[in-house]
Chain A
Amino acid sequence: MPFPILRTSLVVLTEIISLLEPNEIVTASLCSKKVRSLFKNHYQRRKPSKWRLSMFAFSSKGCVDIIPRTVNNRKVVMMARHISKLAGAEHKLIEIDGYKITDITFESGFPVLYFQDQVLVNKMIVDYVTDLFSLNIYGLVIDKNGIWAFDWLNSRQEKLLGGMELSKNSNYALNEDKTMDDVLIVRNAPSSDSVSIDFNVSDNARFNGKLGPVDVLLFDSNEHWVTYENLVKFDAIKLFVYGSTLSESDVNSFLRHWRAGGSPRLAFLRLFFKNMYTFIENFDEDLEIVETNEVRRFLVVEFSAAKNEWVQGPAEADKTSEKLLNAMKISEKINSQSVHVTATPPATSKGKAPYKRNLTLPAIQTNFLSVPDEAPGVVQSASGNSNFSPKFWGGSPSPRSPRSFSSANSCRF
């Protein structure tokens, strides 16, 4: 039975629009210019400021997705693919915003636009979605051919990107030719909430100076970058290093540097060693580090699968070491695919002259690349790992500007 939506009052329309999922909004906006204008006005009046838009720009496809409430709710809202990916010889030409689209499908629950020029259609979908929701792009995920998107986004919006990821793509291997691009991204990413560097970075890539300031800095298996010399240069509030190969002497040196007031913004440091059986115990005496059984209570923000939302969990009372070990085991087991750490910082206290850092941190979750596929609202691992978590941007909020944990402010490249 039809429902003449345009004959209802603004109150009713507003209520209906607020109940639609972002991908449904985008699809419905293609009904007519009038409907699009209606939606656009709605989102201009009620800006969904908590939503995070991400752009994915790959050689084979591009898309825009939205994290409306929590990272687990992320939805692909529009996708662009090369026309060669569409079976069938006959296409229905359509025009959107002056762009001539070779074909369009909706089987996946969101519009998939087929085009000859991948770059052009990627730009088109970003323009369309950002215009519809009156939002800027927050996150960017690119492969080696998507460097253009970084410059393009920075030129089209005043607001800096919240995060970037240079993705691990199944058909992507960073070669020496791209070394400079890596350095370029790192150099240009300091305003991000989070910077993450994973194993895609070439061994030949050289760290070109100070990295930061960022809120969260994650290193995954880029142990060749995480040296004492580089550690002291990183400017982050929270620093996570996975697969570290730092020596005991390096750790001691860094702790000494930190204790002496170096790295002043650093409030939290977590090291995961490459070899899970590596435990540094021989701290230098002058550091006066003692192991303690003290149980600290931290407010932990956890993801409630049942409620599908971020909730403030109970105060954390478990021993951190157990959780760290578990996290490391998981990390080892799934070969650096997805680690969700809900542990609190190590309950290590310093002896006579403890230097106190604010260690009260919410949980941070780290995932590797999540390339949206055409399955509706699903984000999949590039490698198809079954342990892969669809959560992609879900870092911890900045201590400087407390935010809801559902805000997506952690990403990696």
Chain B
Amino acid sequence: MSSTEQGTSSAAPAEPTTAPESAAAPEVPESFYYVHGKDKVVHKVSAGALQHSALIHGMISNLGYTEEQAKANPFPFENIDGDILQMVVDWCNQHKGKPTPPEDTNLPKQKEKLFDLVLAVNYLEIKELLTYCCKQVAMMVKGKSPEEIREIWMIPTDAEDEAAEKEAKKRAGKEAAGETAAAAGDAK
């Protein structure tokens, strides 16, 4: 995986290179943490950038990791694809310590990955990014008819819903019958 702006992404994370943002501020070394997704590629992210994620921020606060412990134990997000996690990390780094502007040009534009991105962002509890992504989803149906919306949002028709419901009932009935038969067999 390619390197991020603030840190590097590699199996062996590098030393922090980011200087403190304000020269006037007292020299407090920034802490860095490590996360990896499904692809096991480790991303080095500053604590400031991770503030955006309520989930990770909570984990950091609760665990009280030192730098060394954090390096040795990257946060695993096995349910998030590597490229999606990369997008999220990039966004967090770009918005470190800054509020998100209403029209954020730095936000991911890949519509084909929007669904996965929404799931990841929701999981990581990044409120601002989630709102932006949801705006994109809402924009998709602007001026569209119900038929078009159904296609865009992959909404089944009433008939399809009814058929699926029937199918589910049938399956549940079969499973119940199977279980009864198995129980009867066991009793014999």
User: Which A residues fall within an 8 A CB radius of B?
Assistant: 1-9, 11-12, 15-16, 19-20, 24, 27-28, 30-35, 106, 109, 376
Contact = CB atoms under 8 A, between A and B. Distances in A.
B151 to A, nearest CB: 7
A381 to B, nearest CB: 25
4 closest Cβ pairs, A-B complex: A19-B138, A5-B153, A106-B145, A4-B154
Interface in B128-164: 130-131, 134-135, 137-138, 140-146, 149-158, 161
B135 to A, nearest CB: 6
Contact of A109 (B122, B140, B143, B158): B143
B115 interface: yes
Contact of B137 (A5, A6, A30, A376): A5
Contact of B134 (A19, A33, A376): A19
B32 to A, nearest CB: 29
Between A4, A9, A16, A30, the greatest number of chain B beta carbons within 10 A of the residue's beta carbon is seen for A16
Given A8-B118, A32-B161, A33-B161, A2 B154 contact: yes
A106 B146 contact: yes
A4 B149 CA distance: 11
Contacts of B157: 32
B115 A3 contact: yes
A33 B145 contact: no
A1 B155 contact: no
A31 B149 contact: yes
26 contacts: A1-B114, A2-B153, A3-B140, A3-B152, A5-B153, A6-B154, A6-B155, A7-B115, A11-B130, A16-B137, A19-B131, A19-B134, A19-B137, A19-B138, A20-B141, A24-B138, A27-B141, A30-B146, A31-B150, A31-B155, A32-B150, A32-B155, A32-B157, A34-B155, A34-B156, A34-B161
A5 to B, nearest CB: 4
A27 B154 contact: no
B111 interface: yes
B146 A31 contact: yes
Given A20-B138, A31-B153, 7 more contacts: A6-B155, A9-B122, A11-B130, A16-B138, A27-B149, A33-B158, A34-B155
A96 to B, nearest CB: 11
Interface string B12-34: 00000000000000000000000
B112 interface: yes
B59 interface: no
Contact of B153 (A4, A9, A12, A33): A4
Contacts of B143: 109, 376
A1 B112 contact: yes
Contacts of A8: 115, 118-119, 122
A9 to B, nearest CB: 6
Nearest to B136: A3
Contacts, number: 89
Interface size class of B (residues with CB under 8 A): 20 to 34
B122 A24 contact: no
Given A19-B135, A109-B143, A6 B153 contact: yes
Contacts of A3: 114-115, 118, 137, 140, 152-154
A366 B137 CA distance: 38
Contacts of B155: 5-6, 31-32, 34-35
A34 B154 CA distance: 13
A19 B135 CA distance: 6
A9 B115 CA distance: 11
B154 A28 contact: no
A28 B122 contact: no
Nearest to A111: B146
Given A19-B134, A19-B138, A4 B115 contact: yes
A410 B113 CA distance: 47
A99 to B, nearest CB: 16
A16 B152 contact: no
B137 A11 contact: no
Contacts of A12: 118-119, 122, 130, 134
A277 B81 CA distance: 75
Contact of A28 (B119, B146, B156): B146
A152 to B, nearest CB: 28
A12 B123 CA distance: 10
A6 B154 CA distance: 8
Contacts of A31: 146, 149-150, 153, 155
A9 B114 CA distance: 14
Nearest to A18: B134
B33 to A, nearest CB: 24
Nearest to B160: A32
B122 to A, nearest CB: 5
A296 B163 CA distance: 70
A27 to B, nearest CB: 6
Q: Which of B112, B135, B145 has the most chain A CB within a 10 Å cutoff? A: B145
Contacts of B141: 20, 24, 27-28
Nearest to A376: B143
> Which of B114, B115, B130 has the most C-beta atoms of chain A within 10 angstroms of its own C-beta?
B115
